[in-house]
Every structure is written in structure tokens, then in C-alpha cells.
Structure 1
Amino acid sequence: MQRVTSLPADDKMCGWYHTSRPRKPRAPHSGQSKTRWAVVGAGYTGLAAARQLAVNFPDDEVVLIEAQEVGFGTSGRNAGFVIDLPHDIGADDYIGDIATAKSTLKLNLLGQTILRDLVSEHGIDCQMRASGKYQAAVEESGVAVLDAYRRGLDKLGQPYEVIEGKDLPAHIGTSFYRKALFTPGTLLVQPSALVKGLANCLPGNVSLYENTPITAVEYGEKIVLHHGNGCITADKLLLANNAFGTRFGFLPRAMLPVFLYASLTRPLTEAEQAQLGGKPFWGVIPADPFGSTVRRTHDNRILVRNSFSFNPDGRPKEQYLSRFADRHRLSFARRFPMLPDVDFEYTWSGSLALAHNHKGFFGQLAPNVYGALCCNGLGITRGTVTGTLLADWLAGKRSELIDFLLATSGPNKNPPEPFLSIGVNATLWWGQRKAGLES
């Protein structure tokens, strides 16, 4: 019996969740059930895997289990960038090995296509727009990163536009940045609305149970998932719960649960929108990975996302929220001095599953147990495509992209505690300090 010793328990003030259309959660599971397929985690990966299993095995029931409410957890807490390009922060040019980058680009584009088609087919109201993204820099070191990224994009043969600081206010309203690199292929979404919409249009042979945290698992010829009100016995188990996969006994010390923090303002008034200027909908990611991500949303709010913490149990810590909200206010004031009276309505945290070698896991974890885990901060596209392809692989399908994922070495192991926490916390502290004005 594998006891699950830490369960998701996200903080309650996620702005994306509260500003998206309300949705009635599905009832928790109770009693005893049997199924051929069980999927744990109803984020992007789990929703995609359950959907594709249901398509590939139309006569089977697929049971999808979510510890919290769909749209409330990690998948609804990111910045909403559906990125097409490779985004390897471990490489100097964000691209790295060109063969790997080309396969990664194909994966991301397929993930985008899957989501685009679902949003269009089911009329999902998630404000999906092909807005591209600006990667912007303030410091000299950030400008050097943009130059390296531009060279990487040249190698990959991908389009971009260099925008000098004097021209940026016409795009994003602020003159804070010195330079930006605009790439046109990114989609922007309201992430919680997207996750809610994907859950609402699952095939009829998917049984979704929300607010059903799994507390123990028995592995063997059958997989038995225990929770507070019963159990689910499955022939096959798919884990799509990112860093919480370690709590199910797999990939120990391989995934780092790192939390990022975001704040969302109230809607800007018409006068404030005029003072800001620029385009009505845009997204900026920082040249420095430890800098600030900033968005202007469809409802004229400003999102600021920065500051990191390492929480080994995979659960947020309330004491960080007020501290990092102060950092968000400083970051906002630097970028938008023309908006001195705009306050934040929401501040929240969201977790990332990161690997030291920036690789994810795809494939078989144990007899009858499979997983697509560790998205390394690209959960929307990577989760969608790996969940879909894992279900295809289990149906006996093969493709160039499935073979690429199966051949990936997966996340490497980290040192044991206390050395792990000491090292990760030191890296986060130094990275945020070194980011300077980029944050």
C-alpha cells in the first residue's frame, strides 16, 4: 500500500478562477467502482489523456479523478501563454540542440492545434487569441539574452520582430523596457476558463469525479485507488498530476515543486485605459527567467507574475502571499507609473513541476501504471499533447512524436534533503536578486 502523504490544497484567491464563468463541479466519487482506465489529475494532461482514451476505446469507461475542483488547481493558475516555440531555459539561446528543438516545436504546435480545435468545436469561452508574445528586457544582461534568443530563432528558422524601447509604448503602453523580441505564434488564454471548458465537453464515456483526493494506492494486477469515501479499482492507471506523482511512489527526488506568485488588478477604467495606451490585449515574458511576466487581459486588467518559493510538500504557504504581493506592487509601479491608483484584487500562487535537466517523463512507470509528468513550466501545450499522445500509445499507435517522447531520458534525480532544499533555495534567492529591474 502506497500512502499519499501530501495532497493538493491551493490558496483561495486565484484571480483567473474567480473572474472566469462559474461552473458546477461534478460530484465526488463514493462507494466502490471498477474501470478499465483511471486517470489521476484533471488538468491539461489528464483532461487530454481521458479525452483521447475515450475516443480510442469508445466502449470503455474512463474514470478521471481530481483532488480539487477543475479550474481551481495548478492548470488554472498559470499566466495563460500557449507557447509554440521551444522554451529551454537551460540553454543560452532558449533553443538548445536543434534536432530536439525541432521535435519540441512539432509537439507544441500539435498541442496548440488540439486546443484550438476543441475551443472552436465546443465554443469554449476562454478568450483564446493569437496575440503572440513579447520577450522584453530592461537590463544589459536581459538584452544579451534577447540577442542570443534571436540567434536561436534564426537557427530554427522561426519568425520574430525586434522592437526597440522607443517603439514599445505603442504595443504595450509602457516605456519601461529597453528592447523586446516579438514572436507571433503564441496564443493567450484565460487558463481557468480553458480548463473549465475542457472539462465541460468531455466525451460521454468519461466519468469525472472532483474533490476526490486519493489517499492510498495498491499496485499489482489491478490498481486500487483509495479515498475518504471509497475506492476505485482500475486495470490501468495514468498519472497526470505532475509533481504529486512522487507522492504516488514514482520519480523520487526528480521533480521540484516550485511555486510562482501572481496578482491581478481590478479592471481599468476607460480613462486609465487611455492613459496606458498600447494594444488592448498582450503578454510579456521576461528575458531573465526570474523576471516578471506581465499581461493585459481581455477585461482590461493587468497581471503581474514573479517571485518563487520551493515547497517540497507541493503545497502553498500562505505567509508568502502578502510578501510577494508587495513585490508585485513594486513591479507594477515601475512599469505603469501612469496608473498610480490601480490596486490588485487577487493574489495567488501556482506550482510548477521542474526537473534539473529540464526533461519530462512519458511512458510506463510500473506494471499497469503510466504517466506524463513534469511539464517544466509549459503545461498548457506540453500537458495537452503528452496526455493525448500517451493515450494514443496505449491504444497501440506510434508516431515520430511518440517515439521522440519515449526516447527522452526523463527528469534526473536531485540530491537528498537537506542538501536539496539548501541548493534550490539558494538558486532561487540568487536568481531573483540577479534579475534586478527585470523583476
Structure 2
Amino acid sequence: MQKITSLPADDALPGWYHTSKPRTPRPAHVGQTQTRWAIVGAGLTGLAAARQMALNFPDDEIVLIEAQEVGFSPAGRNAGFAIDVPHDIGAKDYIGDITTAKRVLKLNTLGQDYLRDIVKTHGIECQMSDSGKYQAAVSGAGIAVLEAYRSGLEKIGRETQMIDERDLPDHIGISYYKKALFIPGTVLVQPSALVKGLADSLPSNVTLYENTPITSIDYGDKVTLMHDNGTITADKLILANNAFASDFGFLKRTLLPTFLYGSLTRPLNEEEQARLGGKPVWGVIPAHPFGSTIRRTVDHRILVRNSFSFNPNGRPREHLLKRYIENHRRSFERRFPMLSGVNLEYSWSGAICLSENHEGFFGQLAPNVYGALCCNGLGITRGTATGKLLADMIAGERNELIDFLLASPGPNKTPPEPFLSIGVNSVFKWGQFRAGLEV
């Protein structure tokens, strides 16, 4: 018997969730259920795995279990960038090995295409926009990153456009940045609206239970998942719950539950939109990994996302959110002096799963247990692609991308506590300090 000691419990004001179309959550599970397939985690990975499992096994019921409400948990709290291009921060040109980079590009593109098809087929309203992304820099060091990345992207045949300071206002309305590398191919979405739509369009042989946190699990000839109001017994289990997989007994001391913090303004009125100028929809990724991500959304809001913390139990910390809202306000004011009267309407934290060596896990964890875990910040595309491919692998398919994922060494082991928390949070603090005006 494996007892789950840490349960998801996110903070209350995720802006994407509250500004997307409301939906009625599926009922929580009650009683005893037996099924062939169970999936834990209804984020992007779990939703993709459930959909593809249902297609691969049309005569079987697929049970999908979510601890909170779909769209409220981490999948609905990211910045909404569905990124196609690779970005190896350990390589001088941010691309590294060309063969690996091309496979990563193919993997990310698979995730994009899978989502595009579902969104179009089911008419999901999630503000999906083929807007590309701007990788922007304030400092000389940041500009050097852009030049190196442009060189790396050219090696894999990706077109880019370097935009100088004088031309940037025509693109994003603001003159804060000194230079930006425009990279076509990124898709922008409203992440909570996306996952809500994915959940509500699942095939009929998927049964989704929301607000059903698993409290213990028994691994045997079958897998029995227990919660406060019943049990679910499955022949096979798929884990798509990222860092919480450690609580289920797997990948211990390898997964780093990392929290980023975001704020969303109220909608800009027509006069404020005119004052800002630039394109109506755009997204900026910082040249420095600890800088600020900025977006202008379809519904005329501004997103500011920055600041990191390592929370080893996978749960948010209210005092950190209060502290980092001030970072958001300063970052917003530096970039948007023409919008001084615009307030931050929503602020929240959201977890991503990182590993020390930037590798995820894909494949079989134990007899009757499979997992697609740890997307290292690329949850929309990578999570979607690995969820689909894991379902295909379980159904007996093998292809280039499945073999590529299976060949990964997986996440590295990390030091024990308290050294891990001290070390990771020190790296985050130093990184944010070094980012300077990129924040």
C-alpha cells in the first residue's frame, strides 16, 4: 500500500480559469469501479492519453481521474505558448545536436497539430492564434543570446526575423526591448479554455471524474486507487501527474515541482488599446530564462509572468504569491508606462515539472504502470505529444518518436533534502538577480 502524502491544492485566482467560459465539472467518483484502463491527471498529457487510448481501444472504458477541476489546475495556469522549436539552454547555439533538435521539433509539431485538429473538429473556443513568438532582450548579454539562437535555428531550417528597437513598437507597441527575434510557428492559446474544451470533447468511452484526489494506491495483479469516497481498480494505470508521480512511488528524488507566478490585467478599453498600439495579439519570451514572459491576449488583456520557487510538496505558498505580485507590477510598469491606470485583476501561481538534466520520463514504470511525466516547461506541446504517443505505444505501435522518447535516460537523481531545496531556491534567486532588467 502506497499512501499519498501530498495532494494538489492550487490557489484561488488563476486568471485564465476565471476569464474562460464556465463549465460544469464532471462529478467526483463515488463507490467501487473496475476498469481496464485508469489515467491519473487530467492535464494536457492525461487528456491526450485518454483521447488516444479511447481511439486505440474503442471497446474499452477509459477512466480519467483529476484531483481538482479541469482548467483550474496547472494545465490551465501556464503562459499559453504552444512552442514548436527546440531550445537547449545547455548548448552554445541553443540547438545542440542537429539530429536531436530535429526530432524535438517533430515531437513538438506533433503536439501542435494534434491540438489544432481537436480544436477545429470540436469548435473549442480557446483563442488559438498562429502568432509566433518574440524572443526579446534588453541587455547586451540578452542580444547575444538572440544572435546565437538565430544561428542555431538556421541550422535546422527555421526562418526567423531579427527586429531592431526602432521597429519593435509596430509589433508589440512598447519600446522597452532593444531587440527581438521573431520566430514563426508558436501557437498562442488561452490555456484554461483549451483544457476545458479538451475535457468536454473526450470520446464517449472516456469517463472523467473531477475533484477526486487519490489518497492511497495498492500495486498488485491489478492497481487499486483509493480515495475518500471509494476505489477504482484498473488492469493498467497511466500516470500523467508530473511531480506527484513521486508520491505514487516513482521517480523519487528526480522531479522538481517548480512554481511560476502570473498576473493578468483587466481588459484594456479602446482608448488604452490605441495608446498601446502594435499588433492585437502577441507573445514575448525573455532572452534570459529568468526574465518576464509577456502576452497581449485576444480579449485585450496583458499577461505578466515571472518569479520562481521550488516547492517540494508540489503545493503553492501564499506568502510567495503576495511577494511576487509586486514583481509583476514593477515589470508591467517598466514596459507599459502608457497604461499606468491598468490594474492586475488576477494573480496566481502555477506548477511546472522540471528535472536537473532537462529529461522527462516516457514508458513503463512498473508492471501494469506507465507514465509520461516531466515536460520541463513545454506542457502544451510536449505533454500533448507524449500523452498521445504513450497511448500508441501501449497499443503496440512503434515509430521514430516513440523510440526517441524511450531512448531518453530519464530525469537525474537530485541531492536529498534539505540540500535540494536550499540549492534549487538559491539557483532561482541568483538567476532572477542576474536577469536584471529582463525581469
TM range (shorter): over 0.9
1:22-41 correspondence to structure 2 within 5 Å:
22-41=22-41
Measure how far apart 1:90 and its partner are: 3.1
Distance 1:83 1:114 in 2: 13
The residue type equivalent to 2:430 in the other structure is: W
Question: 1:308-337, CA deviations, whole angstroms, 9 ceiling, x for partnerless residues?
Answer: 011000000011112111110100010011
Q: Which residue number corresponds to residue 360 of structure 1?
A: 360
Q: Which residue number corresponds to residue 392 of structure 1?
A: 392
Distance 1:37 1:430 in 2: 44
Q: Which residue number corresponds to residue 412 of structure 2?
A: 412
Distance 2:119 2:31 in 1: 34
Distance 2:221 2:95 in 1: 42
Question: 1:343-394, CA deviations, whole angstroms, 9 ceiling, x for partnerless residues?
Answer: 0000000011001100100000000000000000000000101000000000
Distance 1:352 1:65 in 2: 19
The residue type equivalent to 1:282 in the other structure is: W
Percent identical among aligned pairs is 72
Kindly indicate whether residue 265 of structure 2 is the aligned counterpart of residue 273 of structure 1.
Answer: no
> What's the TM-score once normalised by structure 1's chain length?
0.99
Task: Please state whether the residue corresponding to 2:351 is helix, strand or coil.
Answer: strand
1:18-417 correspondence to structure 2 within 5 Å:
18-417=18-417
Distance 1:264 1:321 in 2: 14
Distance 2:257 2:181 in 1: 29
Distance 1:286 1:428 in 2: 15
Cα RMSD, aligned residues only: 0.6
Task: Please state whether the residue corresponding to 1:307 is helix, strand or coil.
Answer: strand
CA contact (8 A) 1:17 1:192 kept: yes
The residue type equivalent to 1:275 in the other structure is: R
The residue type equivalent to 2:269 in the other structure is: T
Distance 1:93 1:134 in 2: 17
Task: Please state whether the residue corresponding to 2:8 is helix, strand or coil.
Answer: coil
Distance 1:97 1:171 in 2: 32
Measure how far apart 1:430 and its partner are: 0.3
Measure how far apart 1:220 and its partner are: 1.4
The residue type equivalent to 2:84 in the other structure is: D
Measure how far apart 1:221 and its partner are: 1.0
Gaps in structure 1 of 5+ consecutive residues: none
Question: 1:255-274, CA deviations, whole angstroms, 9 ceiling, x for partnerless residues?
Answer: 10010000000011111111
Q: Which residue number corresponds to residue 8 of structure 1?
A: 8
CA contact (8 A) 1:90 1:358 kept: no
Task: Please state whether the residue corresponding to 1:152 is helix, strand or coil.
Answer: helix
Distance 1:88 1:36 in 2: 39
The residue type equivalent to 1:350 in the other structure is: G
Task: Please state whether the residue corresponding to 1:59 is helix, strand or coil.
Answer: coil
Distance 1:149 1:268 in 2: 33
Task: Please state whether the residue corresponding to 2:267 is helix, strand or coil.
Answer: coil
The residue type equivalent to 2:236 in the other structure is: K
Q: Count how many residue pairs are aligned between Structure 1 and Structure 2.
A: 439
Distance 1:122 1:263 in 2: 29
> What's the TM-score once normalised by structure 2's chain length?
0.99
Task: Please state whether the residue corresponding to 1:49 is helix, strand or coil.
Answer: helix
CA contact (8 A) 1:36 1:62 kept: yes
Distance 1:213 1:87 in 2: 34
Task: Please state whether the residue corresponding to 1:25 is helix, strand or coil.
Answer: coil
Task: Please state whether the residue corresponding to 1:27 is helix, strand or coil.
Answer: coil
Higher mean C-alpha deviation, range 8-17 or range 92-101: 92-101
The residue type equivalent to 2:87 in the other structure is: H
Measure how far apart 1:93 and its partner are: 2.5
Measure how far apart 1:13 and its partner are: 0.2
CA contact (8 A) 1:266 1:342 kept: yes
